[in-house]
Amino acid sequence: MNTYSYVGGNPISRVDPFGLHDCGQESKVDYVAAALGVADVARGYATMAGGLASLAIGAAADQPAIAYPSAALAASGYATMYDGAAGFMTAFDGQQRSSAFADAGGFFLGSHGAEFGELTSKVMTYSGCEMYLQ
């Protein structure tokens, strides 16, 4: 009987005092996906900030032709940030998360909208383009 099986037989290098993790398998972190997720968050933040600034200017000037597209740009930036954060988390735990673009498309247009949103996420985010890097 191996009394150290909860740490893969190696109590020096691997520590799991509560015995909750399978330490026999090495964890795999996808560093490329993590970097792309961070890049998506940064790009999404910049897009959202620019959209919100333009929205404020358009609203202050009572110009809906400026305000409405700016609001859409800010929402796109937020969705890019969300998808980037989801990609970053997936790089570490391997759990796939839904895309904000797919969620919004599904909400407004049903299953076809969700498919279109997923495609939009692949085009709009660095994380979505990762499949071309492999």
Nearest C-alpha neighbor of 68 from the set 49, 54, 81: 54
State pLDDT tens for residues 21-47.
555 555 577 788 888 899 999 999 999
Q: How confident is the model at residue 108 (pLDDT cuts 50, 70, 90)?
A: confident
Residues 6+ apart with CB under 8 A from 3: none
- Any idea what DSSP says for residue 20? -
What is this structure's pTM?
A: 0.70
CB 89 within 8 A of CB 95: yes
Percent of the chain with pLDDT over 70: 73
The answer to whether residue 14 is domain-embedded is: no
**pLDDT (tens digit per residue) in 53-106:** 999 999 999 999 999 999 999 999 999 999 999 988 888 887 888 888 888 888
| 5 in any annotated domain | no
Q: What is the pLDDT of residues 15-25, one digit of tens each?
A: 555 655 555 55
pLDDT at 18: 60
- What is the chain's length? 134
State the residue range of the domain holding 114.
28-132
3-state helix, strand, coil in the chain (%, to 5): 70, 0, 30
Is 74 among the domain residues?
A: yes
Residue 21 located in a structural domain? no
Structural tokens at position 117:
């949103």
Closest by Cα among 39, 119, 29 to 80: 39
Total tally of structural domains belonging to the chain: 1
